[in-house]
Amino acid sequence: DTEVTQTPKHLVMGMTNKKSLKCEQHMGHRAMYWYKQKAKKPPELMFVYSYEKLSINESVPSRFSPECPNSSLLNLHLHALQPEDSALYLCASSTPGSGNTIYFGEGSWLTVV
């Protein structure tokens, strides 16, 4: 079983809603990530946090807003999403630095209606 826990597992939201995806890990990792995966496509990096600071933003639209309240938690706040944002959102964590193994959570399936 994965040691990266994501909630909720499934979320359906309207285009005017505000919702959040949550991620938690207790492996002591100080790097955390959000990836987005569309059907039959590979995961695509959205954000990287290192030591609770945003290190990489892959030009993600502002309707996605990440937050890292502490070293164990990572949130993704969602507002005014579009139907094309429907996807699997994967949280991951690792020891900071290039080359370290990244562990993924089971993902949150998001449907925007």
Partner 1 sequence: RKEVEQDPGPFNVPEGATVAFNCTYSNSASQSFFWYRQDCRKEPKLLMSVYSSGNEDGRFTAQLNRASQYISLLIRDSKLSDSATYLCVVNKNGGYNKLIFGAGTRLAVHP
- In the complex, the smallest distance separating the C-beta of residue 49 from partner 1, rounded to whole angstroms, is 10
67, 79 Cβ separation under 8 angstroms: no
3-state secondary structure of 8: coil
45 binds partner 1 per the rule CB under 8 A: yes
Amino acid letter for position 105? G
Q: Measured from the CB atom, is 38 or 63 closer to partner 1?
A: 38
Binder of partner 1 out of 11, 90, 110, 112 (CB under 8 A)? 90
- Residues binding partner 1: what is the number (CB under 8 A)? 26
Nearest Cα to 69, choosing from 29, 102, 24, 107? Answer: 24
In DSSP terms, which residues pair with 10 in a beta bridge? 109
3-state secondary structure of 80: coil
56, 75 Cβ separation under 8 angstroms: no
83 binds partner 1 per the rule CB under 8 A: no
x/- string (CB under 8 A) for partner 1, residues 13-42? ------------------x-x-------xx
Q: Measured from the CB atom, is 45 or 80 closer to partner 1?
A: 45
Binder of partner 1 out of 44, 67, 71, 80 (CB under 8 A)? 44
